[in-house]
Structure 1
Amino acid sequence: MKWLYILLSLVGGMLAGLQAPINGSLGKKIGSLEGAFTSFFVGTLFLTFVALFFGKGQLVQLLQVPKWNLLGGLLGAVFVTITIISVPKVGAAAAILAAIVGQLVISMVIDHFGLFGVPKIPMNINRLFGLLFMLAALFFIYRGNAAS
């Protein structure tokens, strides 16, 4: 059953891959910060509807969570803004792969130390090789940009 979550994450990654060039195009037309704002505004409208009609009604618990739990939105806004700036300069593939490699690096640190309440999964040779292959992929994808 865990494979379902892998598949779901794969779809989420595909959506992020679509989001990057769409937002990059928007940013070129209206400005990077304006594009990021518009992207989050549309997302906020969508999530407001979903939360109101399909949520668990626990939004009042927001005042009880540790304040660092609220950083996710800020980090997401910075990520989207960086993507909007990067995609028109290096292309969707290089920008997204660089973002994935960055996510992989920090995720492996989080896993290794069991930070933020995730299960502790120590670094091992298989994970290290996976990271090295991703770095190699980033090198070749970026290098392929120069060929065109």
Structure 2
Amino acid sequence: MPIYALTMLAAGFGIPLLAALNAALGQRMSSPAAAATILFCVALTATIAVLAVTGPAALARAAGAPRHLFLAGLFVAFYVLTVTWVAPKFGVGNAVFFVLLGQLVSAAAIDHFGLFTAQVSPLTFTRALGIGVMGIGVWITQQA
């Protein structure tokens, strides 16, 4: 379990870095869409390299996957485009703050209902309180 937590902690560090770097690139290029396109080209290259090492045969199974599972690509595109556009005007911290609040709420709902084959973890009072405390903590960090 600790490896999963550390891996996701590292991924969490990447979210504000992604936002700041791509926002700066979008400003430099005067186009959030162009910056997002470059980001996705770099990401595609990286994932193709990982896939080449881990086994490209898995791609063949995509044809049998339910089509709604491909919507994840639209969500990542929406995130990258919006954070690239919003962060320079609103601040990386503020942008990520609202992203975190959205993640807390949607993650709790996904876990509570076991959506998309997620492990069911009911939203108990204690869990809701913990999520609320996390949300308040994130909000506190954004106060001047």
TM-score by length of 1: 0.88
Equivalences for residues 75-114 of structure 1 within 5 A: 75-114=75-114
For each residue in 1:76-129, what CA deviation from the matched residue of structure 2 results, as whole angstroms up to 9, or x when unmatched?
A: 111111111121122222211211110110010011111111111111122212
Contact 2:97/2:142, CA 8 A, preserved across alignment: no
Coordinate RMSD, CA, aligned: 1.5
- Cα distance between partner residues in 2 of 1:67 and 1:120: 23
Partners of 1:126 and 1:23 lie apart in 2 by: 37
Q: Which stretches of structure 1, 4 residues or longer, exceed 6 Å deviation after superposition?
A: none
Residue 34 (structure 2) pairs with residue 34 (structure 1) = yes
Question: Secondary structure of the residue that 1:57 maps to in structure 2?
Answer: helix
Q: In 1, distance between residues paired with 2:53 and 2:127?
A: 40
Match of 1:23 in 2: 22
Shift of residue 135 of structure 1?
2.9
Give the partner amino acid of 2:135: L
Contact 1:98 1:138 in 2 (8 A): no
Indicate conservation of the 8 Å contact 2:26/2:34, yes or no: yes
Residue 125 (structure 1) aligns with: 125
Contact 2:26–2:35 (CA<8 Å) still a contact in 1? yes
What runs of 5+ residues in structure 2 fail to find an aligned partner? none
Q: CA deviation at 1:138?
A: 4.1
Q: Any gaps of 5 or more consecutive residues in structure 1?
A: none
Take 2:138 and 2:81, find their aligned partners in 1: how far apart are those partners?
A: 21
Question: Percent of aligned pairs with the same residue?
Answer: 28
TM-score (norm 2): 0.90
Task: Measure the CA separation in 2 of the matches of 1:38 and 1:17.
Answer: 18
Quote the offset at 1:40 in angstroms.
0.7
Q: Given that residues 97 and 139 in structure 2 are in contact (C-alpha distance below 8 angstroms), is that contact kept between their aligned partners in structure 1?
A: no
